[in-house]
Amino acid sequence: MHIYLPIAEMSVSVLLYLGMGAAIGFLSGLFGVGGGFLLTPLLILSGVPSSVAVGTGTAQIVASSVSGAVAQYQRNNVDVKMGLVLLAGGIAGSVIGVQIVRILRQLGQFDFFIAMCYVLFLGVIGVLMMIESLSAIRSARAGRAASGRSPGQHSWVHGLPLKMRFQRSKLYISAVPPVLIGAFTGFLAAIMGAGGGFIMVPAMIYLLRVPTSVAIGTSLFQIVFVTAATTLLHATLNRSVDIVLALILIVSGVLGAQFGATAGARLKAEQLRFLLAALVLLVCLRFAWDLVVKPDELYSIGSMAGRL
């Protein structure tokens, strides 16, 4: 069964995108990362224009993240106060990011820019997470305590001003780092069509020292509101949100997120981090390959209407 996408201007298989949405929703509930860092590349690889993939991807992330966030909240894994601080920075970052997308589309450089972003950010983060998770797994098998500071232990973050107490995370730290982390992830949500969880979750775990389960739940809580604002901005300013495609992805994504949250509760923290690192690196390698492989057609002629 095929259906026509009015904004993407293409005919697609409904079953293919239902399966894609379900898989991404499952990952959202499992890792607390929104799933956009996988959804946007998959949409692009399936032929959806980059700008439409970014705008529509954020719409799907809203729905799947709501489902996952509710499941995490029921498990008491959401630090609402921390999430609101992250959200304040995330909204500001998303506004800036949407404006930059608009400029890049006008210059005709958006496709190259988004590919470079995925290779750079996913490569660095994936390698760091893989090294740490493998070290934690080896320590657990050897019966040793995993290296690293425990939540609440002091670091340079604690020396910054504007301190706040976050009861659920068991932290008393400055609000500055969470605001900056939120702003950066909000910016990436607008630029890359990702919820920013692949940045936020590691940052909360390793920089702020938030427990892994709370970091995942709080990340989903923040992602819901940031991606909702980003979707609205893309729809009004860039007109790059395909509602038909978004509905297909949302219906299947909501169901998948519930199964993901259940599966995540059965895995250990270091196992979750290892699986997430592996997925991040796979996406990075796929984009890197596209940047270096010789295209089938060296030149192409296309309409400039979508860039205006």
- pLDDT tens-digit map of 181-238: 888 888 877 887 666 666 777 788 878 888 877 888 888 888 888 888 888 888 888 7
- pLDDT tens-digit map of 226-274: 888 888 888 888 788 888 888 888 888 777 777 776 776 666 666 666 7
- pLDDT tens-digit map of 132-166: 778 877 877 777 655 444 544 555 555 666 788 88
Q: What is the pLDDT, as a whole number, of residue 151?
A: 46
Q: What is the pLDDT, as a whole number, of residue 36?
A: 67
What single-letter amino acid sits at 234? Answer: H
Cα dihedral: 225, 223, 120, 303 (round 10): -50
Whether residue 88 has pLDDT greater than 80: yes
**Contact present, 234 and 98 (Cβ < 8 Å):** yes
**Strands 10-13, 2-5: pairing kind:** antiparallel
DSSP 173: E
Whether residue 304 has pLDDT greater than 60: no
Domain ranges of the chain: 2-142+151-290
Q: What is the pLDDT, as a whole number, of residue 303?
A: 46
DSSP 300: -
**Strands 171-174, 2-5: pairing kind:** unpaired
Rounded CA-CA distance 263/247 in Å is 25
